Amino acid sequence: MSIKVDIKNAMITGEEMSNIYTQIKLADEMLKNKSGAGNDFLGWLDYPDNYDKEEFDRLLDVVGNIQNDCEALVVIGIGGSYLGSKAIIDALNPFFVNELDGNQRKAPKIYFAGQNISGKYLKALYERVKGQNFMVNVISKSGTTTEPAIAFRVFKNLLEEKYGKEESKKRIFVTTDKARGALKSLADEEGYASFVIPDDVGGRYSVHTSVGLLPIGAAGFDIKAFMQGAKDQMDEINGDDSLDNPCYRYVAARNVLYRKAKDTEIMVNYEPEMTMLAEWWKQLFGESEGKEGKGIFPVSVNNSTDLHSLGQIVQEGKRNIFETVITVNNHEEDMIIPSDDNDLDGLNYIAGKGMNYVNTQAYMGTLLAHVDGNVPNIVLELEKLDAYNLGRLVYFFERACGISGYVLGVNPFNQPGVEAYKKNMFALLGKKGFEDLAKQLKGKM
């Protein structure tokens, strides 16, 4: 079930791949030896082997309680505390799952909050949830990040109004720092069940920790298989340091293309349930590589939808782009195209065929057209869209990102630029300690 990486349409020579190989191998050795920049944030690297088994068992018990005892779970987090779990849940859930009644759903409805500062969104979610039997999982290292902190305050108040303070304590699950921070202090004081965000795992690399596992498990998916997929992917990468290693091939191809002035990577999918996976991928690579004036800019398209909006610029626009396409071999569901006596739409030539077949031909036709338009294409092939294979894919991208960051010559585990907007926002909101900055900003407005 290995992830396959096809570069025959990537417009790269064997010599170019060979020339960069030594750098890739060295970068991966820096990861494994923990000798590179940011090495105090490498806990994710061997996490599929070294995760806390006792905490995992406790998490399974909590997941079972959530599934048995509530109708809806509100998951509160932003960035790496939100994108990974939503990506996996969206990829695995049936479409329109929250519209199914309780007998048809195998798990609670999952809602997300704290990922934006939209009053309209939070008010709508509040109104949707208040009449349901609900629980909350709040995810934050510090407990003071603005977006999730606001959302938690709102839903904590709602829980206490609805169930009373003591009962509410049984309905709040905290994922936070193991020893310090506002949220950890509150969890200890109130007696909330809590799980650990490891000190040495950054948010965007945290999907296999409790950050991702609790929501994914609560949504009804096999987190044991998810972890096994990650372990198998880790073992595969560690067991092959040649360019036959799919992870090495992906890193090599994208960095060769970057050095040929292809500085924008478009993640392409042909299934709408993969949309949020691309959003997680964009954070992973954008935050990890985008610094010191370097980095491949990560964007995404959802085809065939976006062929009708962005297809033109991809086909004939500026030639600084390449595409990475995710394909899935086996689909469990399909819709057969019916015949029509009048055939006014001219579709009888594909009547009787499944839409998955049509989608595959659209993918192949698009790839050939874009390659003819001088857009290199890397293809990542998954055997199946399930918890196991997504566990593999997440680890595959995390490892590729760490290696690629070192090849670029940056620290792939920090994000200093993220703080700039926060300081300005705090100053404009009137937060104590930012008075001087507020004066400077108001002078510019």
Q: Residue 420: its pLDDT value, please?
A: 74
The single-letter code of the amino acid at 184 is K
Q: Phi, psi at residue 343, to the nearest 5°?
A: 50, 40
Contact 248, 242 (CB under 8 A): yes
**CA torsion angle 401 27 203 234 (round to 10):** 80
Residue 287 falls in the annotated catalytic set: yes
Report H helices in 34-135: 47-50, 53-69, 83-92, 119-129
pLDDT at 282: 98
Q: What is the pLDDT of residue 5?
A: 98
**Catalytic residue check, 432:** no
Q: What is the pLDDT of residue 84?
A: 97
Q: What is the pLDDT along the chain (445 residues), one digit of tens a residue?
A: 789 999 999 999 999 999 999 999 999 999 999 999 999 999 999 999 999 999 999 999 999 999 999 999 999 999 999 999 999 999 999 999 999 987 888 899 999 999 999 999 999 999 999 999 999 999 999 898 999 999 999 999 999 999 999 999 999 999 999 999 999 999 999 999 999 999 999 999 999 999 999 999 999 999 999 999 999 999 999 999 999 999 999 999 999 999 999 999 999 999 999 999 999 999 999 999 999 999 999 999 999 999 999 999 999 999 999 999 999 998 888 999 999 999 999 999 999 999 999 999 999 999 999 999 999 999 999 999 999 999 999 999 999 999 999 999 999 999 887 777 778 877 777 887 888 877 787 777 7
pLDDT of residue 416: 86
Give the pLDDT score at 415.
Answer: 87
pLDDT at res. 410: 97
Q: What share of the chain is helix, strand, coil (3-state, %, to 5)?
A: 55, 15, 35
CB atoms inside a 10 Å sphere around CB 423: 13
Arch. (CATH architecture) of 4-35+227-414: 3-Layer(aba) Sandwich (3.40)
In the chain, residues under CATH classification 3.40.50.10490 are: 4-35+227-414, 46-221
Class of 46-221 per CATH?
alpha beta
Per the residue annotation, which of 287, 289, 323, 398 is the catalytic one? Answer: 287
Please identify which of the residues 130, 294, 422, 439 carries the catalytic annotation: 422
